[in-house]
Structure formats: C-alpha cells, structure tokens
C-alpha cells in the first residue's frame, strides 16, 4: 500500500495475505471500493466464514473486471481520472 498505483488484483492479494494486519487488509478493501468501485462488502473484523465468502466474491469480481482497468491509470469509483 506504499502510495503506489495498484491494480485490483494486488488489492485482492493484500486481502488474502494472512501476514497483513487487519488494518492493512481493511485499507486494501477500501481501496478496492474507492478506486475500482468493487461492490462486494468486506470488513477485516467480519466472522471468518463471511470473510472467506467475501474474498471468493471479490476474486470473481476482480477476474471479471480485469480488462476494465489500465495499469498505471488513476481511477475513482471505477472511472479513469
């Protein structure tokens, strides 16, 4: 999350990496919503079974929207800036 332009797939990687703190995972989830307009809710303090379901759904969303986002382009609410 070091202030770099990230792809949605990288945000998903931050979410699933159990080495990341809940704070970092929450920030990655918020970035997916703010930048890419990901519609799947995720909270780092959800029950684990809900997180697993959300991560699966976010992964499916990332895959189905992979062609929408150009690497290096800034986005807000899923639209280029």
Residues 6-21 have pLDDT tens digits of 788 999 999 999 899 9
**Cβ-contact 36, 75 below 8 angstroms:** yes
Query: Would 72 be classed as within a structural domain?
Result: no
Of 1-10, 35-44, 68-77, where does the model show the most confidence?
35-44
What burial letters (b/e) apply to 15-44, b meaning 16+ CB within 10 Å?
beeeebeeeebbbbbebbbebbbbebebeb
pTM: 0.86
Query: Would 59 be classed as within a structural domain?
Result: yes
- Domain extent for 44: 8-66
Number of domains in the chain: 1
Query: Would 45 be classed as within a structural domain?
Result: yes
Query: Would 81 be classed as within a structural domain?
Result: no
């Amino acid at each position: 999350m070091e202030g770099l332009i990230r792809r949605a797939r990288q945000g998903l990687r931050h979410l699933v990496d159990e080495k990341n703190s809940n704070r970092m995972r929450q920030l990655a989830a918020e970035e997916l919503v703010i930048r890419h307009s990901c519609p799947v809710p995720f909270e780092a303090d959800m029950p684990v079974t809900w997180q697993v379901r959300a991560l699966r759904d976010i992964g499916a969303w990332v895959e189905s929207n992979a062609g929408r986002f150009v690497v290096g382009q800034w986005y807000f609410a899923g639209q280029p800036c």
